[in-house]
Amino acid sequence: MHTRIDRAGARALSLIVLSVASIIPISALAASCPNPAQWLQLRGDTPRAASLQEAMSQAATQRVVLLGESHDDAEHHRWQLHVLAALHAQRPDLALGLEMFPRRLQPVLDRWSAGSLTESEFLAQGEWDEVWGIDAALYMPLFHYARMHRIPMLALNVERELVREVGSKGWEAVPVERREGVDDPAAPTDAYLGTLYEAFVAHGPAGAQQAAAPTEAELRDPQFVRFVQSMQVWDRAMARGIAEHLGRGEASMVVGIMGSGHLRDGFGVPHQLRALGVSETVVMLPWESGDRCEPPGVGSADYVFGVAPSPTSERPRLGVMLDNGEAGVVVREVVKDSIAERAGLMKGDVVTTIAGTPVAAMKDVTAAVQRQAPGTWLPVSVRRGTQTLELIARFPTSR
């Protein structure tokens, strides 16, 4: 059941949120992880505690607010919805930019925002299972909020086929007519190259660890250069989609929803936005507290918000990002410390069967995982190179 909330209601919701935050004591923090429900500002020499009022007031003065996420974390999406509601109360003409949709699906988002589609029609016409593949229930509250208030939703991404082509051939080898309107990205900073090289090494066949800073020769390696270019296609596409919408004067602010990796340290989308002349940007990231939480470094974002691990009642998550490739359903990423990593799944694996059923599309994997009960084992067959491996994903009795 969905309850209608008008703009006056949104303002009231924002006031309630701000009032609750005002009674939470704000204590000085050294370089440590934010506690749940605590904001940290990361500008200046050291992180410092901040109130929700301060964070929202500062964000509301900007043209772009970028909210990061781990795609399969429900708490991250709840936080995004709360921030969106608070910003919408102050900037009612904002638009919502989304990494989850390639730009060719913009007409579907327009029909949804206009109230012309049911939820099932929206997910089918938006090719959710084929294009994104993450549990739609995690995102639907955001999408419903946008529709309730007729907030424009922007499809910011490009087709994965373009990213694959750049990764295999290089940006220059892709004809202009197949670049989906994306122009040449701004050159990456040296620091971004270092970060990308760590990912490049870690996601190699052996999951190796980088021993030292990359050499000039390693940075010029054609395979790594193509890897950088493929990552920058995503960054540039999303930045250009935001900049173009602002340039048309249809909204005074765009709130962007995308993976934290595109935002952290200002390297990805924020860097491309600056190159496009959009400098009034705030980056906000959810930061999970806990024993393994790394302290957020100054400059990693403008603000971070401490979130607790998702409750045990959340739907099961395997911990992979999948892609419908030419060879079949391919594992694009494996989340660290996830069920998938513990089962032995690796980037590049092609999932052939799950629970004994052949896999034809990403939705087959999603459906099998969602049917899995806590404490049970899920057999997964993958093709890795010339080998076929039988793996077991063991779901804990609780998170």
Average pLDDT over residues 141-153: 98
**pLDDT at res. 314:** 57
292 versus 79: the higher-pLDDT residue is 79
pLDDT-derived band at 4, boundaries 50, 70, 90: very low
pLDDT-derived band at 96, boundaries 50, 70, 90: very high
Calculate the average pLDDT of the chain: 87
pLDDT-derived band at 290, boundaries 50, 70, 90: low
pLDDT at 11 over 50: no
pLDDT at 31 over 50: no
Average pLDDT over residues 374-389: 93
Please indicate whether the domains covering 7-159+233-307 and 320-394 agree at the CATH topology level.
Answer: no
Average pLDDT over residues 79-101: 98
Sorted by where each begins, the domain ranges of the chain are: 7-159+233-307, 320-394
**pLDDT at res. 332:** 84
- The 10s digit of each residue's pLDDT in 295-320 is 678 889 999 999 987 665 456 788 88
What is the assigned CATH class of domain 7-159+233-307?
alpha beta
* % of the chain with per-residue pLDDT over 90: 66
What is the assigned CATH class of domain 320-394?
mainly beta
Q: What is the pTM of this model?
A: 0.78
- The 10s digit of each residue's pLDDT in 325-361 is 778 899 988 888 889 999 999 999 999 999 999 999 8
**pLDDT at res. 323:** 84
pLDDT at 126 over 90: yes
pLDDT at 9 over 70: no
Average pLDDT over residues 29-56: 83
The answer to whether the CB of 283 falls within 8 A of the CB of 23 is no
Pairing of strands 64-67, 281-288: parallel
**pLDDT at res. 288:** 81
* % of the chain with per-residue pLDDT over 70: 86
- The 10s digit of each residue's pLDDT in 154-185 is 999 999 999 999 999 999 999 999 999 999 99
